[in-house]
Amino acid sequence: MVKMKILVTGANGLLGNAIFRLFGDTHEIVGTGRGDRRPGVLPNIPYFSCDLESEESVSDLMNEVAPDVIIHGAAMTQVDQCELNPEDCHRANVTATKNLISNCKSSVRFVFLSTDFVFDGTEPLYKETDVPNPVSVYGKSKLDAEVLVANSGLSYATLRTMLVYGYAPELSRTNIVLWVKSSLEAGKTITVVDDQFRTPTLVDNLAEACLLAANSKACGVFHISSETYLSMFDFANQVADLWGLDKGLIKRIDTPSLGQPAKRPPATGFSVEKAKADLGFVPVSVADGLAMLKSRMELA
């Protein structure tokens, strides 16, 4: 494996932390994010604050770092906030991607993180050849950014993923597993939708896929997730089972009852056969992923 200089955007988030933990000693990895370094960015990782929505700021960053690979994970992902603030969403997800691409040397390998929300959720399990049809501002913004990446002339891999879960210290945002666990431990009753179906993704597995894509010459779109297809309600129950928590506190609800601003695709889930064949990706099941997460949290 050739040692590469890898720039990770969205470094303060869950994926950034997983990449730093797993590969920070094997590659020259640099992190960038909006604002100051947070605890998820390990001390051995160089960090640069950068506003990716500013072309000047991105130009300065790229001249300073001169990466071989960019793993672009930074995004505005709060689906309802994107729906209510479409201009902010476009700047964060499309303009930022455009700025990175336009300041790349032609030799840079570009790994872009996208989402199952580019689909409308009517025909699971989705393959890369299925036609996107986003039903939200967020999904449309990520699809627009995918098109920019595909037309950039760079060597690229777009990794679509979904329902990423994991643990990192002092995260600014939670994820479904940590939310379910902490709520039930506090004795709170929670409502979880039983009419949305996904193939959840352990963040460590996604980080492994990012490195496989960085090392590969294969170009195009790749679906990255587990192969465990289940409802959000059933996923929450598996979390409760693993930690020995009261499943009676988990109440079913359907999506329309939530009255959320943004529409969600009801049933996505991925076929990951292409990623397995072309990248060597090995998906981690939900049962194994939750067990791995539990072990990691007990050691933290």
**Could you tell me whether strands 109-115 and 201-202 are parallel, antiparallel, or unpaired per DSSP bridges?**
unpaired
Total count of residues recorded for the chain? 300
Q: How many CA atoms lie within 13 A of 219 on its CB side?
A: 12
In order of start, what are the domains of the chain with their CATH numbers?
Answer: 5-175+202-225+270-286 (3.40.50.720)
pLDDT in tens, 187-203: 999 999 999 999 999 99
**Token duo for residue 237:** 């129950």
CB 283 within 8 A of CB 155: no
pLDDT tens per residue across span 154-163: 999 999 999 9
Q: How far is CA 25 from CA 21, 43, 200, in A?
A: 8, 12, 27
Beta strands in the chain (DSSP E): 5-9, 28-33, 47-49, 69-72, 109-115, 155-161, 164-165, 190-193, 197-198, 201-202, 220-223, 230-231, 250-253
CA of residue 190 relative to chain centroid, distance:
24
Tens digit of pLDDT at every position of the chain (300 positions): 678 999 999 999 999 999 999 998 889 999 999 999 999 999 999 999 999 999 999 999 999 999 999 999 999 999 999 999 999 999 999 999 999 999 999 999 999 999 999 999 999 999 999 999 999 999 999 999 999 999 999 999 999 999 999 999 888 788 999 999 999 999 999 999 999 999 999 999 999 999 999 999 999 999 999 999 999 999 999 999 999 999 999 999 999 999 999 999 999 999 999 999 999 999 999 999 999 999 999 998
C-alpha closest to that of 97 among 78, 81, 113, 80: 113
* Residue 256 contacts residue 107 (beta carbons within 8 Å): no
Question: Nearest 5°: phi and psi at 151?
Answer: -95, 10
User: Which tokens go with 21?
Assistant: 């933990």
Average pLDDT, the chain: 97
Provide the 8-state DSSP code for 248: G
Quote the Cα angle for 32-38-43, to 5°: 80
248 exposed, middle or buried (CB, 10 Å; 0-12, 13-18, 19+)?
Answer: exposed
Tokens of 256: 């329309």
pLDDT at 1: 60
CA Rg, the chain, in Å?
A: 18
Rounded to whole angstroms, how far apart are CA atoms 271 and 281?
Answer: 12
Phi, psi of 117 (to 5 degrees): -70, 0
How far apart CA 113 and CA 221 sit, in angstroms, is 10
pTM over 0.95: yes
The per-residue pLDDT for 221 is 98
What 3-state class would DSSP assign to 22? helix
